[in-house]
Structure 1
Amino acid sequence: MELGMIGLGRMGANMAQRLVRGGHRVVGFDPKPEARKAIEDNGAESAATLDALVAKLKAPRTLWMMVPAGAITDDTVNALLPLLSAGDTLIDGGNSNYKDTLRRAATCAGKNIQYVDCGTSGGIWGLAEGYSMMIGGDAAAVEHLRPIFETLAPGKDTGWGRVGPVGSGHFTKMVHNGIEYGLMQAYAEGFSILGHKQEFALDLHQIAEIWRTGSVVRSWLLDLTSDALGKNPKLDGIAPWVADSGEGRWTVAEAIDLDVPAPVITASLIERLRSRDTDSFADKLLAAMRNEFGGHAIKKE
């Protein structure tokens, strides 16, 4: 099959490269000339504009967007709609909010353009290992795209699937990322406890390696944790500041809307927000309150 790839950041470029290796024709667009040259060096074609990209593809066309969620995705869809024709398919492989996906899909449906949402996991390892893909959309449209998904996935019948109608792919990926928050927080807290037991002088990398085989807490995240501890046991040079992509927030908000208790995911999100407060007024006020009611000492800055 042939495919237009929009957005040639690291993940988009790696996906294009995996598709080319699988025998697909890929034409990529990115506003950065160096990104376009990079995929050309790996066997894909490129286009300098969206107009040129669409012109290089035969109808009915398939275009895959790998751009940041939010306004950029909206801008890309709005720019593409006048260029596309009935029967074309637009895939959103980014981390869009599923509610935005439903809105965009309705707009595309009015022009008889299929909209498919593909929650994509695999990060920088996807080129070698394959991508986990949670796909939402019309069943016939997804089946037509099977050769693309089979090439990108870890195996033809593993690591991917249509999970439901349009919007369900991004909804599933949202919850996937919420679970990821909780798993990461548990590992971080556990290794912190181990590290603080100084009289045992525990080797955290060694422990991670032991747990990687046979343990009930073994996982790919633990593999990556072990790798990080092996490279930098004391985590020197890394600031205690943790970003979030937004999907953890959406998961917590959805849990509240559905009256589903999700204390672990919620707590892990709050911890990420807390990590950014380097001059915590709340903590200072807690210390002041303890001093007021109990005369407890206050540690000076």
Structure 2
Amino acid sequence: MDIGMIGLGRMGGNMVQRLREGGHRVVGYDMAADSGRDVDSLSGLVEALPSPRTLWVMVPAGAATDGTIAELSELLDPGDLVIDGGNTRYRDDQRHAKELGRDGIHFMDVGTSGGVWGRECGYALMVGGNDSDFERILPVFETLKPSGDSGLVHAGPVGAGHYVKMIHNGIEYGMMQALGEGYAMMEASDLVECPDRVCDSWREGSVVRSWLLDLLVRALKDDPDLARIAGRAEETGEARWMVQDGLDMGVPLPVTAASLFARQNSQLDDPMTMKVVAALRNQFGGHAVHSERA
């Protein structure tokens, strides 16, 4: 197939390579001149593709995606298809589909997971859109997904792809937090002499074996005490959206919420929450209060 890729970063650039290796003709565009782009503007990208066009958007969620889709709406023709493969909120997908639909432009959302390993191993694709658009772009999905029968799902209408990707990332937050807490407890224990080897042993036969566990073992081999790793982890929005929706729907999400708050707290060098806790302990119990900034 002929397809345009907008955004040639770590995900988009690797997806382009996998598609080209699969025999597709890909025209790439990125704002950065050193990105390996094939054209230097969205208008040039549109002109380089045969009709009906298919364009895959891989830019940050929010203003960047909104602006890209707004510009495309002025350039595309009826029957063209826009795919948002980033981490957009599903409600924004529904708005984008409505806006583009007024001009006869089709829209799909695809939750995409696989990170930097996707080029080699394939991407998990969670698709939202109608049946005919799904069938139209299926050869691209088949190239991007892992080999085998899994890795691709048509989750429902527009918005469903990013909705399940939101939940996927919330689950990911909880799994990563559990691995982090478990390792920290082993590392702090006087009994466990080799927490890294314990994790390695869990990779076979254990009920907690997983790709995330494999990656943790890999990270520990590269940096045994994780000395080069700052104890901070950003939250990218999806778990926050999931917790908000869970509250609206009356679905308890304590693990996802706790892992989200842990990430938010990790961004603070001297979190106010713990300042209050320390101050109260000092007030009622006379516990010492130390501050490097004092």
TM category (shorter chain) comes to: over 0.9
| Secondary structure in structure 2 of the residue aligned to 1:47 | coil
Distance 1:126 1:208 in 2: 24
1:9-54 deviations in whole A, cap 9, x for unaligned? 11101000000000000001112222125xxxxxxxx111111111
Does 1:212 pair with 2:212?
A: no
Match of 2:287 among 275, 293, 296: 296
Computed over aligned residues only, the root mean square deviation of the Cα atoms, in angstroms, reads 1.2
1:19 partner amino acid: L
Distance 1:297 1:79 in 2: 59
Distance 1:81 1:297 in 2: 62
Q: Is the 8 A contact 1:150 1:157 kept in 2?
A: no
1:9 partner amino acid: G
Number of the residue aligned with 1:40: none
Does 1:191 pair with 2:183?
A: yes
Number of the residue aligned with 2:255: 264
1:242 CA drift (Å): 1.1
2:288 partner amino acid: A
Mapping 1:90-239, distance limit 5 Å:
90-155=82-147, 157-197=149-189, 199-239=190-230
Distance 1:148 1:115 in 2: 15
Q: Is the 8 A contact 1:7 1:30 kept in 2?
A: yes
Residues 245 and 300 of structure 1, relative CA distance in 2, 3 Å threshold: closer
Number of the residue aligned with 1:26: 26
1:120-152 deviations in whole A, cap 9, x for unaligned? 000000000000000000111111110000000
Q: Is the 8 A contact 1:2 1:25 kept in 2?
A: yes
1:300 CA drift (Å): 5.0
Moved more, 210-219 or 284-293: 284-293
1:288 CA drift (Å): 1.9
Give TM-score scaled by structure 1 length.
0.94
How many corresponding residue pairs?
Answer: 292
2:206 partner amino acid: S
| Secondary structure in structure 2 of the residue aligned to 1:200 | coil
Match of 2:270 among 263, 275, 279: 279
Give TM-score scaled by structure 2 length.
0.96
1:212 partner amino acid: R
1:176 CA drift (Å): 0.4
Q: Runs of 5+ in structure 1 lacking a partner?
A: 38-45
Distance 1:142 1:235 in 2: 43
Moved more, 158-167 or 282-291: 282-291
Number of the residue aligned with 1:35: 35
Distance 1:117 1:281 in 2: 39
Match of 1:52 among 44, 48, 58: 44
Distance 1:168 1:115 in 2: 12
Distance 2:40 2:282 in 1: 64
Mapping 1:72-83, distance limit 5 Å:
72-83=64-75
Moved more, 48-57 or 114-123: 48-57
| Secondary structure in structure 1 of the residue aligned to 2:36 | helix
Q: Runs of 5+ in structure 2 lacking a partner?
A: none
Distance 1:20 1:150 in 2: 13
2:151 partner amino acid: G
Distance 1:288 1:147 in 2: 61
1:206 partner amino acid: R
1:32 partner amino acid: A
1:229-270 deviations in whole A, cap 9, x for unaligned? 111111112211111111111111111111000000000000
1:98 CA drift (Å): 0.5
Distance 1:229 1:185 in 2: 16
Report the identity percentage: 49
